[in-house]
Amino acid sequence: MVSSKRLADVGYRMFSGSMILLTIYGGYLCSARAYRYFQRQKALKAAAEDQVNEMIKD
């Protein structure tokens, strides 16, 4: 039979592990969103520069 202390210890470790995994996953999602944001900004800037260059050529 498992003692209540050991059961509480296992439960605490499982909870802590799940919180660590959620934190890592949240960091991944935040990083992915920031990466997409900066890529989009770069694309918009390049498109604006192309549009300006095209207008100058005309």
Q: What angle do CA 13, 26, 9 make, to 5 degrees?
A: 5
- Give the pLDDT of residue 29: 98
Task: Provide the 8-state DSSP code for 35.
Answer: H
The values of phi and psi at residue 28, to 5°, are -65, -45
Q: Please give the chain's pLDDT, 58 residues, in tens.
A: 789 999 999 999 999 999 999 999 999 999 999 999 999 999 999 999 888 777 776 5
The values of phi and psi at residue 13, to 5°, are -65, -40
To the question of pTM greater than 0.75 for the whole model, the response is: no
Measured distance CA(24)–CA(46) in Å, rounded: 33
